[in-house]
């Protein structure tokens, strides 16, 4: 590929023909005005699906960014700046000749105003960012204080290192397949075990001290689905009331804890190694729910509810990973969820807390306003 090194040492210039040639999954470029972006790695992440970008590859997407049907947020525009690779060549860009001529006649003050507009969407600068990206972030973020909330909700597409220790760092990362590999055998075993308990015909549910009735094995599917339904509520509550609880600006330790629990995911939402929960950490929470249910309900009743909830958790983690890295068919349920979840990351961080379902956002009035992708 021919790349002209321009009149400046930092900016590359391309002809429109060069940009137009990059229109495949292997190399996909787009224009925004005269700015050129290589969005190849973003194709599979795009909430509208990769076909939407590929259909406009090699061309100017300014109109699509401004909408309709969907006006992209400042965070989305800032995200795009990470893929900036250069400018249309001023000598070859026939479609932009008039624009460039006008730019050449602008006053210095006008040029400054234009640069300010571009800088609002600038990518992370290692030298000027609030943290030092060359060092682990876990022990830095607590010092951001009242700047933390705004900083953590400006997503970037780069890996995060949390700890200096390779051992601790490795334990914060989990490939997606580990979740079903660890938990689905337990789901299968406990499903068989709880069904066997119910089949013995000795499980009773006491409504009062004097009135009770048998829970037969035919109740197992209903109890299992009840557990999945309960999990969907737990999922919503954890996401909203724990993960999105604003830590006090003056508390270094709570800011650090928030970043480790969820803040790092909002800062780097496409870090594929941190999209699902490590089994070790998840086992503590899962164990707590198991003990609670067995304190409240007979074993034959509590176990099928628990195993349904555990299955719901596995489904949630797999859906969450897919919403970030999958390309669901347009119009499908997962397509809508993906668009919804991306809006949660980039535009509405204080709404849209449902992940595997948007059901609970409705009664709690945290639904993201509908927009079409």
Binding residues for Zn(2+) are: 239, 244, 262, 265-266, 320, 324, 341, 344-345
Residue 219: closest CA among 209, 205, 232: 205
What are the tokens at 234? 């737990």
Residue 64, classed as helix, strand or coil, is: helix
Half-sphere exposure of 51 (CA within 13 A, CB side): 6
Q: Which two tokens stand for residue 326?
A: 């999958």
Q: Around Cβ 279, how many Cβ atoms within 10 Å?
A: 14
The rounded distance, in Å, linking the Cα atoms of 212 and 309 is 25
Partnered with residue 37 across adjacent β-strands are: 30, 84
Q: d(Cα 230, Cα 226) in Å, to the nearest integer?
A: 6
- Binding-site residue set: 46, 72, 239, 244, 262, 265-266, 320, 324, 341, 344-345
Helix (H) / strand (E) containing 245? none
- Residue written as token pair 């007979």: 298
In sequence order, what are the beta bridge partners of 206?
212
Q: Which residues are annotated as a binding site for heme?
A: 46, 72
Backbone angles phi, psi at 214, to 5 degrees: -75, 145
Report the alpha-carbon distance of residue 341 to residue 343 in Å, rounded: 5
Whole-angstrom Cα distance, residue 184 to residue 192?
12
Could you give the CA distance from residue 354 to residue 129 in angstroms, rounded to a whole number? Answer: 31
In this structure, are residues 307 and 227 in contact, taking their beta carbons and an 8 Å threshold? yes
Distance separating alpha carbons of residues 181 and 188, to the nearest angstrom: 12
Q: Residue 283: which residues within 8 A CB-CB, separation 6 or more?
A: none
């Amino acid at each position: 590929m021919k790349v002209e090194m321009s009149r400046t040492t930092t900016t590359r210039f391309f002809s429109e023909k060069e940009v137009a040639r990059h229109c495949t999954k292997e190399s996909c470029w787009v224009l925004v005005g005269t700015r050129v972006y290589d969005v190849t790695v973003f194709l599979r992440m795009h909430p509208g699906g990769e076909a939407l970008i590929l259909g406009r590859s090699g061309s100017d997407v300014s109109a699509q960014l401004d909408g309709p049907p969907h006006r992209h947020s400042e965070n989305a525009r800032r995200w795009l700046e990470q893929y900036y690779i250069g400018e249309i060549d001023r000598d070859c860009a026939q479609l932009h000749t008039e624009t460039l001529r006008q730019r050449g006649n602008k006053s210095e003050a006008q040029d400054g105003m234009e640069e300010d507009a571009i800088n609002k969407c600038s990518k992370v600068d290692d030298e000027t960012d609030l943290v030092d990206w060359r060092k682990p972030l876990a022990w830095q973020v607590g010092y951001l204080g009242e700047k933390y909330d705004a900083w953590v909700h400006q997503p970037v597409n780069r890996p995060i290192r949390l700890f200096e220790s390779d051992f601790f760092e490795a334990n914060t990362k989990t490939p997606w397949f580990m979740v079903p590999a660890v938990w689905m055998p337990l789901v299968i075993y406990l499903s068989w075990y709880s069904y066997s308990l119910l089949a013995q015909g000795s499980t009773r549910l006491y409504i009062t001290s004097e009135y009770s009735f048998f829970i037969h094995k035919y109740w197992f599917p209903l109890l299992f689905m009840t557990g999945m339904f309960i999990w969907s509520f737990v999922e919503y509550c954890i996401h909203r009331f724990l993960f999105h609880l604003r830590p006090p600006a003056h508390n270094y330790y709570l800011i650090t804890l928030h970043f480790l629990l969820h803040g790092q995911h909002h800062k780097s939402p496409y870090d594929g190694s941190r999209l699902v929960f490590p089994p070790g950490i998840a086992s503590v929470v899962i164990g707590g729910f198991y003990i609670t249910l067995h304190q409240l309900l007979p074993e034959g009743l509590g176990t099928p509810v628990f195993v349904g909830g555990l299955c719901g958790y596995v489904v949630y983690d797999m859906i969450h990973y897919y919403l970030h890295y999958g390309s669901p068919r347009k119009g499908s349920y997962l397509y809508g969820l993906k668009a919804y979840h991306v809006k949660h990351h980039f535009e509405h961080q204080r709404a849209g807390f449902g992940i595997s379902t948007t059901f609970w956002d409705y009664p709690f009035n945290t639904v993201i306003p509908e927009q079409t992708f």
